């Protein structure tokens, strides 16, 4: 499709949207933002800024703009016409259809929007065009300020090959590797052999974990070269690759830098980003438990050296790999606002978006290095619409049928760009929000994160809260014993959810029984009067059977007021609460310990799904008689699916490697599915003959769709 051009009349494409409710929501969030909410009214910057992005980061930038009295312009694809960032802006312009290449990466349409709205500056957020030197160059040619570094710095640091050479010249520690572009598969294999396995193959223009593969042998190098080049071309329009030594079992620690156009540069401490899956961060914190003051200073000073070497101006991030002996090596520099910037704002009190706007206008930094504090501790959990039980998180799509952020809790910040009713689609990143908690100590921040995750209501899509809660409560994470291998080491067989201890199992069984009785009592009441019932539900003693996983548990329940006493598995559990069945949250006291549960679903047959300690558990509660009769019911035999290859996620088919009649070996690639610009190779689980193929390249598939049938 050709670039979308704005006609002279703006009535069709330009919409002024002044949604007071969203402005109010924005201002309300500032009270718990943990960064400066006051701006100097005498310091003039820009009258109008266009945000060339979507979702939570667009909303985040708008909040600071509103604080500074700056009018905002949103751009959006046609499917994002009712998105939160569109409603929050003062004006909005449609820049094309859903695919990013035709909308958020459509430079012509965005430049048209800049001209039509009279925006004086553009904030690119992260991703999309945020590190695109051509976009920055075109804005400069129009006299529009790009809120970020100049094109020289973007070019120098955006190319991983060039950035590594510059880092070496600036006396920044670098990882051993090949300092040129790898052009062919065979060249990649030879270079990898020369460096010594394991190696990291990654996109020269990449970031965000896309276009990156670890190879431990020649075969994995060949496969990694193919997938990395395809992902790099899809995500960045640049398929150049480089290869370097892979530092096994490292920490990923990054330094936030801030520089102005007058030669001043600061380092704003570090962020620990070692908890990752598929090279993408999951949980971050600031500061790091691992760094001592001397190492922190050395890393900070090298980060500033690199920034000054490319005359950097704006906020940026220098990423390092750190080994067990605190040796650190330059990884890359991100010339943009980082996803995890909120935790730096929490411990320093600085509004990084405001600082970027000031620098873009030409102001000098307001602070010296000695002014930058580490106040308290902040933790960020990336909440995604993902299934954590599949490779620690494969994308999920759907509509948020119920959504409630835990902003009622103190020192909790939620950066999001969605609301109840929003759609999570296959076209964009599946992030729901960035959940941030702050405390005077790490233990305090962790406790608040645990509470916040328990109080976060998300319905309609599968999400990764079960995994996030398990990470932040795991003994290794609590002790600070982490690396980028944390997830595969802790969950070598994949994530399976919370494993209940005996007392926790009793708590869950008792809560399910109490909830079942509460629902039964309510269903037998009409306008305050008891209906005529065949079962004596007005008594205060019940004998029930609760099924959980493969086990059946006999329980006895007595009730006094709002307190249920449950005898189960040789123990006694007291469950106390208000039992509001209309609320998505179920605050209870279980044996004197406060617990926040969520009842995800329940039906008349006694089936209940409870979110307990972050994980969803399916239980079934039956009366004693119903349980006895149920034992005579025939069990449904599960379908044999060993010969069916189904899509594990929604996405698009990139390649199909087989045809009917082909014989495949165990582990052989059958097809490739791309979701959110990440390519996933689907392989045969056993040797077999291909019976039929139900997909072809370019098709969109849903989770569970049949792709290939084997004999």
Determine the longest span between alpha carbons in the chain, in angstroms.
Answer: 86
Q: Tell me if residue 336 is catalytic.
A: yes
Helix (H, G, I), strand (E, B) or coil at 630: helix
Task: Give Cβ neighbours of residue 485 (< 8 Å, ≥ 6 apart).
Answer: 248, 249
d(CA 290, CA 321): 12
d(CA 617, CA 214): 35
Using a 10 angstrom Cβ sphere, with 0-12 exposed, 13-18 middle and 19 or more buried, the burial of residue 540 is exposed
d(CA 625, CA 545): 9
Q: Fill in the DSSP letter of residue 370.
A: G
DSSP string, 435-469: EEEEESSHHHHHHHHHHHHHH-EEESS--SHHHHH
- Give Cα 119 to chain centroid, integer Å: 30
Q: What's the first-to-final CA gap in the chain, in angstroms?
A: 42
Q: Residue 249 CB: number of other CB atoms within 10 A?
A: 11
d(CA 459, CA 476): 30
Tally of CA atoms within 13 A in the half-sphere of 547 that contains its CB: 16
- Give Cα 280 to chain centroid, integer Å: 9
Q: Fill in the DSSP letter of residue 102.
A: G
* Contact by Cβ (8 Å): 378, 34: yes
Residue of 273, 268, 408 whose CA lies nearest to 352: 268
- Give the C-alpha distances (Å, rounded to integers) separating 39 from 51, 70, 350, 681: 20, 11, 11, 50
Instruction: Show the 3-state SS of 575-591.
Output: EEECCCCCCCEEEEEEC
Q: Fill in the DSSP letter of residue 351.
A: -
Q: Which listed residue (60, 138, 336, 595) is catalytic?
A: 336
Residue of 360, 366, 256, 259 whose CA lies nearest to 312: 259
Residue of 187, 165, 189, 183 whose CA lies nearest to 175: 165
- Give Cα 151 to chain centroid, integer Å: 29
- Could you tell me the two tokens for 621? 């509660």
Evaluate the CA torsion angle 707, 226, 209, 51 in order and state its sign.
negative
Per 3-state DSSP, what percentage of the chain is helix, strand, and coil (rounded to 5)? Answer: 30, 30, 40
Could you give the dihedral angle defined by the CA atoms of residues 311, 370, 174 and 233, in that order, rounded to the nearest 10 degrees?
-60
- Give the C-alpha distances (Å, rounded to integers) separating 156 from 99, 140, 160, 362: 29, 18, 8, 22
Task: Give Cβ neighbours of residue 353 (< 8 Å, ≥ 6 apart).
Answer: 60, 61, 63, 64, 65, 123, 337
Task: Give Cβ neighbours of residue 674 (< 8 Å, ≥ 6 apart).
Answer: 234, 651, 652, 653, 654, 680
Please report where in the chains the tokens 């930038």 appear, as a residue: 61
Burial 654-690 (b: 16+ CB within 10 A, else e): bbbebeeeeebeeeeebbbbbbbbbbbbbebeeebeb
Active site residues: 336
């Amino acid at each position: 499709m050709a670039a979308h051009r704005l006609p002279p009349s703006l009535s069709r494409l330009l919409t002024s949207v002044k949604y007071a409710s969203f402005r109010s929501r924005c201002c309300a969030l500032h009270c718990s933002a943990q960064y400066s909410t006051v701006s100097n009214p005498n310091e003039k910057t820009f009258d109008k800024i266009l945000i060339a992005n979507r979702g939570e980061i667009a909303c985040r930038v708008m909040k600071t703009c509103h604080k500074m009295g700056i009018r905002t312009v949103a751009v959006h694809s046609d499917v994002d016409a009712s998105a939160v960032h569109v409603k929050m802006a003062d004006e909005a312009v449609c820049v094309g259809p859903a695919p990013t290449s035709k909308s958020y990466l459509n430079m012509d349409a965005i430049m048209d929007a800049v001209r039509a709205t009279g925006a004086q500056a553009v904030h690119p957020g992260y991703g999309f065009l945020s590190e695109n030197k051509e976009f920055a160059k075109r804005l400069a040619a129009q006299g529009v300020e790009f809120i970020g570094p100049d094109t020289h710095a973007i070019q120098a640091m955006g190319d991983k090959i060039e950035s590594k050479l510059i880092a070496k010249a600036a006396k920044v520690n670098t990882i051993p590797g090949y300092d040129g572009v790898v052009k062919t598969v065979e060249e990649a294999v030879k270079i990898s052999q020369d460096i010594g396995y394991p190696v990291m193959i990654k996109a020269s223009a990449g970031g965000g974990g896309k276009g990156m593969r670890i190879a431990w042998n020649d075969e994995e190098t060949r496969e990694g070269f193919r997938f990395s080049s395809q992902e790099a071309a899809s995500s960045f329009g640049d398929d150049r690759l480089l290869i370097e030594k892979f530092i096994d079992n490292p920490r990923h620690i990054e330094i936030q830098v801030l520089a102005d156009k007058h030669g001043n540069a600061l380092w704003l401490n570090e962020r620990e980003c070692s908890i990752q899956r598929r090279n993408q961060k999951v949980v971050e914190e600031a500061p790091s438990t691992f760094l001592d003051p001397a190492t922190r200073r050395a890393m900070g000073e090298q980060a500033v050296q690199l920034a000054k070497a490319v005359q950097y101006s704006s906020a940026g991030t220098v990423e390092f790999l750190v080994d067990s002996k605190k040796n650190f090596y330059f990884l890359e520099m991100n010339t943009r606002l980082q996803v995890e910037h909120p935790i730096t704002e929490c411990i320093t009190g600085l509004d990084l978006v405001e600082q970027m706007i000031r620098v873009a206008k030409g102001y000098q930094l307001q602070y010296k290095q000695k002014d930058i504090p580490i106040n308290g501790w902040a933790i960020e959990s990336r909440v995604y619409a993902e299934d954590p039980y599949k490779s620690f998180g494969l994308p999920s799509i759907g509509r948020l049928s119920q959504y409630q952020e835990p902003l009622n809790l103190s020192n909790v910040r939620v950066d999001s760009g969605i609301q109840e009713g929003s759609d999570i689609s296959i076209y964009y990143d599946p992030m729901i929000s960035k959940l941030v908690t702050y405390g005077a100590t790490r233990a305090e921040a962790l406790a608040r994160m645990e509470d916040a995750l328990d109080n976060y209501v998300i319905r309609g899509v599968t999400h990764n809260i079960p995994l996030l809660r398990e990470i932040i409560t795991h003994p290794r994470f609590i002790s600070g014993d982490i690396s980028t291998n944390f997830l595969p080491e802790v969950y070598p067989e994949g994530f399976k959810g919370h494993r209940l201890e005996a007392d926790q199992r009793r708590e869950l069984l008792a809560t399910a029984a109490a909830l079942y009785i509460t629902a039964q009592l309510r269903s037998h009441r009409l306008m305050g009067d008891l209906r005529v019932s065949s079962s004596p539900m007005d008594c205060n003693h019940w004998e029930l059977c609760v099924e959980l996983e493969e086990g059946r548990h006999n329980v006895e329940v007595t009730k006094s007021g709002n307190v249920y006493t449950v005898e189960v598995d040789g123990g006694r559990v007291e469950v106390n609460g208000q039992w509001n069945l209309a609320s998505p949250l179920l605050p209870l006291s279980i044996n004197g310990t406060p617990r926040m549960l969520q009842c995800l679903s329940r039906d008349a047959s006694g089936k209940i799904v409870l979110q307990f300690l972050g994980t969803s558990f399916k239980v079934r509660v039956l009366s004693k008689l119903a349980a006895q009769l149920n034992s005579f019911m025939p069990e449904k035999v599960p379908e044999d699916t060993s010969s069916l290859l189904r899509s594990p996620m929604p996405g698009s088919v990139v390649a199909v490697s087989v045809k009917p009649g082909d014989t495949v070996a165990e582990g052989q690639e059958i097809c490739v599915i791309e979701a959110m610009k990440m390519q996933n190779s689907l392989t045969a689980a056993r040797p077999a003959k291909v019976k039929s193929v139900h997909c072809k390249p370019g098709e969109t598939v849903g989770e569970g769709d049949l792709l290939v049938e084997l004999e």
